[in-house]
Amino acid sequence: MVDFSIRTVQGDITTIPVDAIVNAANERMLGGGGVDGAIHDASGPLLFEACMEVKEVSPGVRCPTGEARITPAFDLPADYVIHTVGPVWRGGSNNEEEMLSSAYRTSMLLAEENGCESISFPCISTGVFSFPFEQACNIALDTLGGFSGSDTIAEVLLVCFSVPREEEYRQILAAHPLSD
């Protein structure tokens, strides 16, 4: 059993006040479409500058798939943006599950290292990266459920932009073993 609350929320992740907002980023960390673009737009131009300051680990890569990096949140109602890169779905035989789990785990570790009490996650990799939604939700919940003993994190919000997706995620959460 986890020692923090986990709940689904329907809404715009850029408007929900938390200590850390997780950005479903790409490896360049310079903005993009979907959640990534929305977070960059809402945060303002200083987020782009902060991301440019993150050292590349290889040409064009600031945050490899399955890892996370942290920046200030600037104009967002949060202290931090945790940028994480989930895998592109390629059929499931290319370590996609392990990389997605790592994206959630490394994000939680960064939140804890930075004293965050609350964190909001989008459903990583389920947009343009095409990870099957239900499978991605269960991987997220398995990973979060295995993250016990947090000294700081009290609340995890799983944010979905659409009502139908939030309802689906809420049903998956209710049926998940960590809800027992």
CB–CB of 162/12 below 8 Å?
no
> What is the full DSSP assignment across 90-141?
SSS-SSHHHHHHHHHHHHHHHHHHTT-SEEEE--TTSSTT---HHHHHHHHH
Q: Would you call 36 a catalytic residue per the annotation? A: yes
Distance of CA 13 to the CA centre of its chain: 10
Active-site entry in 19, 36, 75, 79:
36
Task: List, by residue number, the catalytic residues.
Answer: 36
